[in-house]
């Protein structure tokens, strides 16, 4: 099974998760200017940022050409 490393799917995935990543960072910054619910908005931004990074890191067919990035074996 070959992993898709180029094409429209990869580009759209990158754009979507980059928007999530930057939106999460924006939420963390926006939380500082709020009077109420600062902690909730900050944690929401932190979770969105973390989830966007985690999803992109677990995608198959990374630059190292591994098929399973979570196996722990770097030589696969």
- The percentage of residues in the chain with a pLDDT greater than 90, rounded to a whole number, is 46
Q: Inform me whether the pLDDT recorded for 64 exceeds 80.
A: no
Does 48 have pLDDT greater than 60? yes
Residue 11 predicted with pLDDT over 70? yes
pLDDT at 33 over 70: yes
Closest C-alpha among 55, 53, 54, 46 to residue 24:
46
> What are the phi and psi torsion angles at 38 (to 5°)?
-60, -45
């Amino acid at each position: 099974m070959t992993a898709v490393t180029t094409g429209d799917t990869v580009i759209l995935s990158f754009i979507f998760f980059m928007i999530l990543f930057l939106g999460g960072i924006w939420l963390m910054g926006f939380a500082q200017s709020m009077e109420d619910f600062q902690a909730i908005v900050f944690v929401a931004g932190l979770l969105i940022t973390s989830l966007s990074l985690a999803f992109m890191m677990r995608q198959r067919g990374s630059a190292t050409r591994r098929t399973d990035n979570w196996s722990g074996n770097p030589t696969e």
